[in-house]
Amino acid sequence: MVYTTDGLIERSRLQVKDVVRDDHGSRAIATEWYLDGRLVRRDVTVSILNPASVN
């Protein structure tokens, strides 16, 4: 079961798509969950690639 905007939905009913985006010194991986073509959940993981530095 996966928590969505429609409540808990069986995993097998959902279509999943990963979207990878490199931007602004970062990498983002978004996992989008669709129910009958409608977005019902979106998770995002961001990795910061550029540190804040003083040299």
| Interacting residue ranges for another protein, rule: CB under 8 A | 3-5, 21-26, 28, 30-31, 33, 39-55
List 25's β-bridge partners, or say none: none
User: What is the closest distance, in whole angstroms, from the C-beta atom of residue 40 to another protein in the complex?
Assistant: 7
Nearer to another protein, 7 or 12 (CB): 7
Half-sphere CA count of 31, side-chain side, radius 13 A: 7
Looking at the Cβ atoms of 12 and 44, the one nearer to another protein is 44
Element (H, E) at 31: strand 26-35
Q: Least distance in Å: CB of 6 to another protein?
A: 9
Asked if residues 47 and 39 have their Cβ atoms less than 8 Å apart, the reply is no
